[in-house]
Amino acid sequence: MRFTAVALFLLFFCGCADKSAVSAPDEDDFEAEFSSVEEFDPLSGYNRVMTEFNDAAFRNVIIPTADGYRKVVPQGARVSINNFFDNLAFPVRFVNNILQGKITNAASETGRFIINTTVGFLGFANTADELYGMQKHDEDFGQTLGVWGIPSGPHIVLPILGPSNLRDLGGMAVNYITPLTYNSWNVFENNWQSIGVGAFGAFNGLSDFAPMYEAMTKDAIDLYPLMKNMYEQRRDKLIKE
């Protein structure tokens, strides 16, 4: 299961923090970076309100819940759960690597899935990476659309899920198709059960990022452009890779 958009921009922020420690950008570079983000933002009013809502939800509900969850569930168990849901997302990675012409990566993803599903006990162990160095090639349909030249469109902040844009929002429908959600594979009695299991997987992954979110955003003067910039630049970087 893929992490939420919050996890993506947190990972990107860590990379930015390391670079800033080496050389601080001058004022002109800083203004140019943020002005490019503000040029086209027709939903800025809504986005700012939703950003504040999400921030309040994180600080008052998600972070305290995640703190309790980490105290009850050992790190090894959380990692295994992440591995299991990540293994289930193989079809999304495989198809999008194919659609982007990355045939070698798609073949590697197939090998990873077979090894982790069998030797890795249904994916709870990431044996393919740990023993054979077969790293994940994480591609989604939003990235595929970007590779095909589809513009990102206006930035959109989703409830709880966080930053996105029109292109990535359209790609979510395709990314949603996994063994947990596709009816022909669904082992649950109804969709609500599969949604609940999927939500648990997403929360398990998010739980380790919650403290990082709190630490990196607590002193933000204007939270919305900070989060928007991190998300859009991270997505652009993934598309170009």
User: Which pLDDT value is given to residue 211?
Assistant: 82
User: Which pLDDT value is given to residue 216?
Assistant: 82
User: Which stretches in the chain have pLDDT values below 70?
Assistant: 1-39, 177-191
Q: Do 13 and 229 form a contact (C-beta atoms < 8 A)?
A: no
Q: Do 150 and 175 form a contact (C-beta atoms < 8 A)?
A: no
Q: What is the pLDDT of residues 174-190, one digit of tens each?
A: 777 666 665 544 555 56
User: Which pLDDT value is given to residue 193?
Assistant: 73
User: Which pLDDT value is given to residue 219?
Assistant: 84
User: Which pLDDT value is given to residue 241?
Assistant: 87
User: Which pLDDT value is given to residue 173?
Assistant: 76
Domain borders along the chain are 49-240
User: Which pLDDT value is given to residue 35?
Assistant: 44
- Determine if the pTM surpasses 0.75: yes
Q: What is the pLDDT of residues 92-121, one digit of tens each?
A: 999 999 999 999 999 999 999 999 999 999
List, in order, residues 6 or more apart from 226 with CB less than 8 Å away.
217, 220
